[in-house]
Amino acid sequence: MQCARPLRVAVIGGGVSGCTLAHALKEEVAAGRVATTLFEMGRGGGGRSATRKTRDDGRVAISHGAPSFKVTTHKFRALLDGLPAGTTVPLPKPVGALVGDAFEPDGDDRRAGAGGAAALCDALLRDSGADPRFRSMVRGIERTGDGAWALRGTDGAELGRFDWLAVSGSGVAHDRWTATFGGEPPLKAAAASLGDAALDAAIAAVNGVASKPVMAVMLAFDGAAAKSWAALPWSKAAVDGDAVLSRVVVERVSDDVTNVVLHSTHAFAEKNRDVYGATSTAARIGGALSDASREEALVAALLSSAEARLAAFDAALAGPFYGPHLHRWGSAFPAGVLVPPDAAVVPSARVVFLGDYVDTGRAGTLEGAALSGLAAAEALVDAAAAA
């Protein structure tokens, strides 16, 4: 027997976990048992697998977060196998580490989104039946008199009412929200008046997860410089023993364009946590509190470290046609105690948490984020059946 209306699910965050959840619910949506709405601050899905683009130059497509990923579990492999052929491709060059003046590959196979990291989330959403609301930030959450969850945007206007909240990423529940956007985390504020012990415990568990931030400097080269960078023997090289630079990512996107992304160490990003980058989504859409005056100095520090470590290679950082632009990846990797799977689902409050901060055995990875999305989908399928 079908319920009078579908279970209304709001997915807050369009990263890999949120997009995987939306994809995994597509049969429920098609059957009329679930209606999924996905809210994402950015211009499209992706989160850690987003691809930075610009209207000023159509050649720019930079995977500034996680440009590639491992596949270690049957569930994740089955998810990828169910997507259109060619959505992901083998990484063309190895990942490894710079040891002195030499590159040493780690021997692990990895995959990447075809044409950019965002290809994965694009494919997950394409046939999901979800209603994606990009450039839409959830700034307020409240429980209505009839028990629904009402979401509000940056202007205070209501974004919709929902039966379940799927919190993809910890932002709306974590105290980091206050330092970034000001005010109390929206879900934590809403929970304060509900007296739901299970929800309070889940939010406490979320706040028990620390994060390791990363700053990324993005550049794109064309012509001879693009060819020089493309000739390097790696896709991603870790850098040990540098206080500023942790890895160098090289991505050949066309015959004439090569992207380079310089990732900072966690310590460098933590020390400069008040800078987000003028072009970041957090600054543009969320109004993140940022010290823009220091951005140029931080970019210069990362460029200087990269030039020193790459001196033995034929790859110059001068003359990019795009960049250098700074991006802060505030919650790049979870640290400490993760949220247990049984604490991530709160039926009494109709809230489920998902993301790489939930313990799936693959925490801090793109695969882990996807696995948490699949687990959240199972919980919501059960909820739809019970309704």
What CATH number has the domain bearing residue 48?
3.50.50.60
Do 14 and 43 share a structural domain?
Answer: yes
130 plus 161 within the same structural domain: yes
Whether 277 and 293 share a structural domain: yes
How would you write the pLDDT of the chain (387 residues) with one tens digit per residue? 344 799 999 999 999 999 999 999 999 999 999 999 999 999 899 888 889 998 899 999 999 888 999 999 999 999 999 999 999 999 999 999 999 889 999 989 999 999 899 999 999 999 999 999 999 999 999 999 999 999 999 999 999 999 999 999 889 999 999 988 899 999 999 999 999 999 999 999 999 999 999 999 999 999 999 999 999 999 999 999 999 999 999 999 999 999 999 999 999 999 998 776 555 554 544 454 556 678 999 999 999 999 999 999 988 899 999 999 999 888 889 998 999 999 999 999 999 999 999 999 999 999 999 999 999 999 999 999 987
Q: Give the CATH number for residue 217.
A: 3.90.660.10
Residues 224 and 349 in one domain: no
For residue 90, tell me if it sits in a domain.
Answer: no
91 belongs to a structural domain: no
The interaxial angle of helices 366-386 and 16-24, nearest 10 deg, is: 40
How confident is the model at residue 1, as a pLDDT? Answer: 35
Whether residues 347 and 243 share a domain: the answer is no
Residue 107 lies in a domain: no
Q: Are residues 177 and 230 located together in one domain of the fold?
A: no
Domain range for residue 151?
Answer: 7-62+118-208+336-386
- What backbone torsions phi and psi does residue 30 show, to the nearest 5 degrees? -60, -30
Per the CB < 8 A criterion, the answer to whether 380 and 17 are in contact is no
Classify residue 277: in a domain, yes or no: yes
CA distances from 241 to 128, 238, 245, 316 (A): 44, 10, 9, 21
Examine residue 308 and state whether it is found in any structural domain, yes or no. yes
- Looking at residue 6, the DSSP 8-state letter turns out to be P
CA distances from 55 to 20, 61, 95, 254, 365 (A): 28, 11, 31, 18, 30
**Number of domains present in the structure of the chain:** 2
Closest by Cα among 285, 379, 362 to 44: 285
Same domain, 34 and 146: yes
List of E strands, the chain: 7-12, 34-40, 52-53, 61-62, 88-90, 95-99, 102-105, 111-113, 131-134, 140-143, 149-152, 158-162, 164-168, 210-222, 236-239, 245-252, 257-264, 322-335, 345-346, 351-354
**Structure confidence at residue 2 (pLDDT):** 46
Predicted pLDDT at 330: 81
At 277 the pLDDT is 56
Residue type, 203: I
**Three-state SS for 96?**
strand
Q: Answer whether residue 150 is part of any domain.
A: yes
Is the Cβ–Cβ distance between 42 and 280 less than 8 Å?
no
Does residue 317 share a domain with residue 259? Answer: yes
Q: What is the length of the chain?
A: 387
For 160-194, b/e burial (b = at least 16 CB within 10 A) is: bebbbbbbbbbbbbbebbeebbeeebbbbbbbeee
Q: Are residues 281 and 219 in the same domain?
A: yes
Residues 276 and 355 in one domain: no
pLDDT value of residue 387: 77
